[in-house]
Amino acid sequence: MKRLLLAAGALLALLLGGCGVRPSDVITGGPAPAGTVEGTRFYLISDGQPAVVLRGLKPLKLDDVLRELAAGPTPAETKAGFTSEVPAGITPTKVGIAGDGVLVSLSTDVRSLSVLATVQIVCTVQAISGPTPVTLVNASQTRGPLRCPVYR
Amino acid sequence: MSGWGLGLRGRLLLAFAMLGLTTTALVAGVSYGQARTVVLQKAQDAAVLSLVDEVSRLDPVRQLPPSEEELNAIASVVAEGPDAAAVVYHNEYATAGLDPSELPQQLRAAVGEGNVVWQRFSRFGDPTLAIGTQLKSKRPDGGTEPTGIEVYLLHPLVDEQHSIDQLAALAWSTGAASLVLAVLLALLAARGVLRPVSELGRAARRLGEGDLRTRATVRGSDELAGVALIFNQTAERLERQVGELRRMEADARRFVADVSHELRTPLAAMTAVTDVLDEEAERLPGDAGKAARLVSQETQNLAQLVEDLIEISRFDAGTAALSCDNIDVAAAIRFALHCRGWTDQVTASLPEGIVAWLDPRRLDVIVANLVGNALRHGGAPVTVDLRVVDGWVEVTVADQGPGLAPEVRDHVFDRFYKADSARSRSEGAGLGLAIALENARLHGGTLVAENRSPHGAVFTLRVPTGGNA
Amino acid sequence: MSRVLLIEDHHTVREGLRIALTRQGHTVEAFETGEKALAHLSATPADVVVLDLMLPGMDGFEVCRRIRANQDLPIIMLTARDDDMDVVAGLEAGADDYVVKPVQARVLEARIRAVLRRGVARSTDPVPEERHRELTIDRAALVVRKDGAPVGLAPTELRLLLELSATPGRVYSRQQLLEAVWDQGYLGDSRLVDACVQRLRAKIENDTTAPVYVQTVRGFGYRFGPL
C-alpha cells in the first residue's frame, strides 16, 4: 500500500514538473549556412586558428598577395584580434607553376616555418590560384605539396 | 492492506482510482509529452530554417573584419517581428534587440563548432528559443570556412507555451474525468459485490441469532453464489442436526418425566405406610427395627427425589404454571419457617405490609430450600431479610458459615450439584437450588448466590411485586 | 371413630392406605371401582370418602358428582400432581380437598380430621339464628335456609359460609380462609377456596354473576356482604 502511494506521488511530481516549455540543452542542427564573400582573401591567425580576412576588391598577383601577407595584420585587423606568424622576410618571392601545382619560392627557410604560417601562406595562395597543391621551396628545401585544410 | 481497515468498497475504490489515474497519467502524460515535442519542434525547426535561409541569402560580405554597418545590416535583415537578433564578430557586435550577454553560455560555445545550434531558455520569465550560427563563406575549392561572424536570433515561444498549456489543461481534465469515471465504476462494481455479501452477512447473523430456517438467495453462478450455496447447505444441515438434538433432548426429558411418573405408583403405596413402619420399628427386635426405620426414611427420600424430578421436568417442558395470589410476603415467610420449626433458629427481619403477586407454594419452596441450606451447610447465625427495592421484593438469606468456594459458586444452581461430594444422601439429591432458581425465574425474578465478608454466603431472591390485582 | 370409604384402583396403594388409615383408628372400606363403592355406600353410610380420580370404568369425577348429589359427605381427592386440570375439575365436581400421591399417612390423616371437623358445630351454646336477607344461618344446628327452605351444603361449603358470615363485611384473604377452613395456610392451594366459593354461590346466590352474599374483593379475597 505504501509503495503504491509513493509511486503515485512520484508520478504526480513528474507530471507537475514536466509541464510547460522547459529549458533545454544545446541542440545541434545541420552545418552553418554559407554565404559568399567578395574580395581578396587573406589568412591570418585568430585565437590560434587560421582565419580569413578580406582586403580590397582588386585582384592581386600572387607576389603582391604574399608581400601583403608578410606585412602582417592591418591596425583594424589587429584591433579585431588577428595576428600573423608569417615572418616578414619571406619576400621577395617567386611564384611559378610546376606540374599541376604552384611552386612558391621563398627567401626564408621553409622548414622552420610554423604550421600556422604554412597554412596561412598556402591558403592565401590557393585563394588566388585555385585548389591546386602548393609547394614551398627555398634553396634546397622543399615543403609540400600542401593544401589548405578544409574546416568543418 | 488489512492494516488499513478499508472495507471492500474502499479497497475497490482505491484500486480503480489508482488504476484510472495511473493509466490516464501515463497516456495523457505521454501524449502531452509527444504533442509538446512536436509543437516545439515545429516552431523551432521553422525558426531555424528561416534563419538559415536568410543568412545564406545575405549580401556577400565585403569586409573582414566587417564594419559596423555591415554587421547592423545583417542584424536588421535577420531580426523580424518579435524576434531579436545580434550579430557578433570577435569582440564586437551589432544588436537588433538582443545583447549577446543574454545568450546562454552553452549556446555561444557551441556555435564555434560550425553547426547551427539552438537552445531553449527562460528570458524574463518567458520561454525563448535562441538560435546561433556562424556565417561561413564558400571557398572556390568547394569547401567552406567560417567568416568569424556569428548570427544569433531569439524567437519567443510564448505562443507555443500557450498551446502546450492548453494541452496540459486538457490532460489534467481528462485525468480528473477518468478519476470520476473510475470512482463511479468502482462504486458500481463494489455494489455488485457488496450487495450479495451484505445479504449473506445478514443471513449469517440471523442464523447466529437462532433462526435456523434462514437461507441465502443464490444468484448467478460466481464465487459468491457458491458461498451462498454452501451457506444454505450448512444451514440446512445445522437445522436438521439441531432438530435432531432438540428431539433427543425432548425424548430424554419425556423419558425422565415418564419414569418419574411411573415411580409414583409404587411410591404411593410405600409412602402410605412409612408412618406405620416408624411406629412399629421400636417394637421390632434388633436389626429388624433398624431395617424398618431405614426403609421408611429412604422411602421418604425417594418420594422427595421423584417429586423434585417431576418438578424439574415440568420446568423443562415449559408446563410449569404459576397460580398467584396477593400474598403477604412477611406472613408467608413466617409461616414457612414455623411449619418446619425453624422460627427460633433464624433471625428474621420481616416488615409488614409487603404484598406481592406470587405463587405461595413456590415461594414456600424457595424459602424452605434457602433457609434449609443455610442451616445445614452454612453456619449460625442465619438471617432472613425482607425488603422492597424499586418495585422488586427482595428476600435475603444469609449465614456466617464458610461461604461458597469460587468453583462452587459458579455451579451451585446446577442440577444434581452438591458442593461437598461426601455429603450424605439424606440431605437431598442436589436439585433444591435448581428448583428454587426455576421457581424464581417463573415469577420473572432472579436468584443469586454471593459471598459476604468476612465469611458466609448470601442468597438473594428478587421477584417483581406484580402490582396488579 | 370414623368410617372411611376408600376408592383406589391400584392394589398396593389401596392396601398401603388401608393399613395406614386403620392404624389411625378409622374403619376403612376399600374398593377398586366407583361402581362397587357407590353400591356399598347406598347400603352402608360412611363419614368421609377418599377418592382416587383415575379409576377404571366410572371415573372419579362422576363418582364425586354422584355422591354429592345424594349427600353432603366430605370427599378428599387423591391425585397425581401433574393433573392440574383434574384438580380443578375435581373441585368443581364437589371435592372438599385434595392430596397428592404419594402421600404420607399423617398428612392424609390431618386432612381427614380437618374435613370432619367442619361438620361439627363449633359451640353448643344456643345462638340465635342470623338473618341475612333471604338467608337464615343457624350456627348451632349447622343449618342454612334460603327463603325458608334448607340448602344442602357440603361441610366445607358450610364452614366457609359460617366463617365469612361471622364478620360480615370483613375481607378474608384466600390464605386466611385456607387456614381457617382447610387448616392449610400458605401451603394450601388457593383454588380450593375459589372452587368452594363457586359451589357455595351456585347454591345460595340468586345470580351467580352478581353475587351479594359471597362477594369477591379484587386483589384481596372474599367477604360476606355488605347487603
Whether B28 shows a pLDDT value over 90: the answer reads no
Query: How confident is the model at residue B469, as a pLDDT?
Result: 38
Helix (H) or strand (E) holding B460: strand B457-464
User: At CB < 8 Å, which residues of chain B contact C?
Assistant: 261, 264-276, 279, 300, 303, 306-307, 310, 314, 321, 323, 325-328, 331-332, 335-336, 339, 360-361, 363-364, 468-469
Whether B388 shows a pLDDT value over 90: the answer reads yes
Q: In this predicted structure, which of B168-172, B225-229, B460-464 has the lowest mean pLDDT? A: B168-172
CB contact under 8 A, B326 and C219: yes
Model confidence band, residue C121 (pLDDT cutoffs 50, 70, 90): low
Query: How confident is the model at residue A57, as a pLDDT?
Result: 64
Query: How confident is the model at residue B252, as a pLDDT?
Result: 85
Helix (H) or strand (E) holding B446: strand B446-451
B461 phi/psi in degrees, rounded to 5: -100, 130
User: At CB < 8 Å, which residues of chain C contact B?
Assistant: 10, 12-13, 15-17, 19-20, 23, 80-82, 84, 101-106, 108, 173-175, 185-187, 189-191, 218-221
Q: Which residues contact B202 (CB under 8 A, 6 or more apart)?
A: none
Most A CBs within 10 Å, among B39, B48, B126, B141, to test the A interface: B141
Distance CA B393, CA B391 (A): 7
**In this complex, is the C-beta atom of B52 within 8 Å of any C-beta atom belonging to chain A?**
yes
Cis amide prior to B381 (ω within 30 degrees):
yes
Handedness of CA B189, B194, B199, B203 (dihedral sign): positive
Query: How confident is the model at residue B428, as a pLDDT?
Result: 66
CB contact under 8 A, A52 and B137: yes
By C-alpha distance, the chain C residue nearest B308 is C81
Structure-block grid coordinates of residue A118:
604554412
Query: How confident is the model at residue B365, as a pLDDT?
Result: 92
On chain C, the residues whose CB falls within 8 A of the CB of B335 are 185-187
CB contact under 8 A, A32 and B115: yes
Average pLDDT value for residue range B249-262:
83
The fraction of chain B above a pLDDT of 70, given in percent, is 96
CB contact under 8 A, A35 and B58: yes
Strands (E), A7-151: 27-31, 34-35, 41-46, 49-54, 82-83, 94-98, 101-105, 134-138, 141-146
CB contact under 8 A, B325 and C187: no
Residue in the structure block whose three cell numbers are 479497497: B11
On chain C, the residues whose CB falls within 8 A of the CB of B320 are none
Model confidence band, residue C30 (pLDDT cutoffs 50, 70, 90): very high
Helix (H) or strand (E) holding B292: helix B286-317
Q: Judging by beta carbons within 10 Å of its beta carbon (0-12, 13-18, 19+), is residue B55 exposed, middle or buried?
A: buried
Cβ-Cβ pairs closer than 8 A, A with B, add up to 172
C189 phi/psi in degrees, rounded to 5: -90, 120
By C-alpha distance, the chain C residue nearest B303 is C102
By C-alpha distance, the chain B residue nearest A24 is B120
CB contact under 8 A, B275 and C105: yes
DSSP classification of residue C128: P
Distance from CA of A76 to the nearest CA of B (A): 8
Query: Which pTM value belongs to this model?
Result: 0.56
Complete edge-to-edge strand list for the sheet that includes strand C97-101: C27-31, C3-7, C48-52, C75-80, C97-101
CB contact under 8 A, B138 and A28: no
Helix (H) or strand (E) holding C217: strand C214-217
Cβ-Cβ pairs closer than 8 A, B with C, add up to 105
**Do C93 and C61 touch, CB atoms closer than 8 A?**
yes
By C-alpha distance, the chain C residue nearest B321 is C84
Task: Convert the pLDDT of each residue in B363-382 to its tens digit.
Answer: 999 999 999 999 888 878 89
Whether C81 shows a pLDDT value over 70: the answer reads no
Whether C124 shows a pLDDT value over 70: the answer reads no
Of B272, B327, B336, Cβ closest to residue C13: B272
Query: How confident is the model at residue A137, as a pLDDT?
Result: 80
Most B CBs within 10 Å, among C186, C216, C218, to test the B interface: C186
**In this complex, is the C-beta atom of B24 within 8 Å of any C-beta atom belonging to chain A?**
no
Give the residue among B27, B183, B4 at the shortest CA–CA distance from A5: B4
CB contact under 8 A, B360 and C17: no
Query: How confident is the model at residue A88, as a pLDDT?
Result: 77
Give the residue among B342, B269, B35, A147 at the shortest CA–CA distance from C8: B269
On chain A, the residues whose CB falls within 8 A of the CB of B123 are none
Residue in the structure block whose three cell numbers are 459458579: B410
Whether C71 shows a pLDDT value over 80: the answer reads yes
Query: How confident is the model at residue B182, as a pLDDT?
Result: 85
Query: How confident is the model at residue B227, as a pLDDT?
Result: 87
Counting CB pairs under 8 A, whether chains B and A reach 3 or more, is yes
On chain B, the residues whose CB falls within 8 A of the CB of A76 are 65
Distance CA A127, CA A105 (A): 17
Which spans in B210-222 are helix H? none
List the Cα angle B432/B437/B438 in 5-degree steps.
100
Q: Is A131 helix (H, G, I), strand (E, B) or coil?
A: coil
Distance CA B335, CA C186 (A): 7
Rounded to 10°, the helix B8-56/A2-17 angle is 30
**In this complex, is the C-beta atom of B63 within 8 Å of any C-beta atom belonging to chain A?**
yes
Distance CA B395, CA B393 (A): 7
On chain A, the residues whose CB falls within 8 A of the CB of B102 are none
Mean pLDDT rounded to a whole number for chain B: 86
Of C82, C104, C173, Cβ closest to residue B274: C104
Query: How confident is the model at residue B250, as a pLDDT?
Result: 84
Which spans in B318-358 are helix H? 329-339
B contact residues 131-170, partner A, Cβ 8 Å cutoff: 133-148, 157, 160-161, 164-165, 168
Q: Judging by beta carbons within 10 Å of its beta carbon (0-12, 13-18, 19+), is residue B256 exposed, middle or buried?
A: middle
Give the residue among C89, C109, C105, C14 at the shortest CA–CA distance from C52: C14
With contact defined as 3+ CB pairs under 8 Å, the chains touching B are A, C
Give the residue among B3, B449, C46, B114 at the shortest CA–CA distance from A1: B3
Most B CBs within 10 Å, among A1, A2, A3, A37, to test the B interface: A37
**Do A6 and A15 touch, CB atoms closer than 8 A?**
no
Give the residue among B391, B395, B375, B400 at the shortest CA–CA distance from B452: B400
Q: Which residues contact B45 (CB under 8 A, 6 or more apart)?
A: none
Give the residue among C53, C63, C112 at the shortest CA–CA distance from C86: C53
CB contact under 8 A, C187 and B339: yes
Model confidence band, residue C141 (pLDDT cutoffs 50, 70, 90): confident
Average pLDDT value for residue range B384-393:
92
**In this complex, is the C-beta atom of B36 within 8 Å of any C-beta atom belonging to chain A?**
yes
Distance from CA of C39 to the nearest CA of B (A): 25
Average pLDDT value for residue range B99-116:
87
Task: Convert the pLDDT of each residue in B321-341 to its tens digit.
Answer: 888 888 889 999 999 999 899
Task: Convert the pLDDT of each residue in B203-248 to its tens digit.
Answer: 889 988 888 888 888 887 788 888 889 999 999 998 999 899 989 9
Query: How confident is the model at residue A152, as a pLDDT?
Result: 47
Can you name the residues that pair with B423 across neighbouring β-strands? none
Please list, residue by residue across A89-128, b when 16 or more beta carbons sit within 10 angstroms of its beta carbon and e when fewer do: ebbebebeeeeebbbbbbebebeebeebbbbbbbbbbbbb
Q: Which residues contact B240 (CB under 8 A, 6 or more apart)?
A: none
Query: How confident is the model at residue A12, as a pLDDT?
Result: 67
Distance CA A63, CA B110 (A): 38
Query: How confident is the model at residue A14, as a pLDDT?
Result: 66
CB contact under 8 A, A34 and B148: no
Q: What Å distances lie between residue C44 and B29, B393, C30, C47, C62, CA to CA? A: 122, 54, 13, 10, 20
On chain C, the residues whose CB falls within 8 A of the CB of B279 are 23
For chain A, give the longest Cα–Cα distance: 89
Whether B5 shows a pLDDT value over 70: the answer reads no
Distance CA C208, CA C78 (A): 29
Most B CBs within 10 Å, among A11, A27, A53, to test the B interface: A27
The fraction of chain B above a pLDDT of 90, given in percent, is 20
Mode of pairing for the β-strands spanning A101-105 and A134-138 = parallel
Of B60, B89, B143, Cβ closest to residue A150: B143
Task: Convert the pLDDT of each residue in B125-147 to its tens digit.
Answer: 888 899 999 888 887 777 788 88
Q: Is A138 helix (H, G, I), strand (E, B) or coil?
A: strand
Counting CB pairs under 8 A, whether chains C and B reach 3 or more, is yes
DSSP classification of residue A81: T
On chain B, the residues whose CB falls within 8 A of the CB of A45 are none
Task: Convert the pLDDT of each residue in B36-48 to its tens digit.
Answer: 888 888 988 999 9
The per-residue pLDDT string of chain A (152 residues; one tens digit each, 9 = 90 and over) reads 677 677 667 766 666 666 677 888 888 888 888 888 888 888 888 888 888 888 876 777 777 777 788 888 888 888 888 888 887 777 666 777 777 777 777 777 777 788 888 888 888 888 887 778 888 887 777 877 888 887 64
ipTM for this prediction: 0.81
On chain C, the residues whose CB falls within 8 A of the CB of B326 are 173, 219-221
CB atoms within 10 A of CB C149: 8
Of A20, A26, A126, Cβ closest to residue B141: A126
C184 phi/psi in degrees, rounded to 5: -120, -10
Task: Convert the pLDDT of each residue in C166-193 to its tens digit.
Answer: 888 899 988 889 888 888 877 778 888 9
On chain B, the residues whose CB falls within 8 A of the CB of C103 are 268, 271-272
Average pLDDT value for residue range B5-33:
81
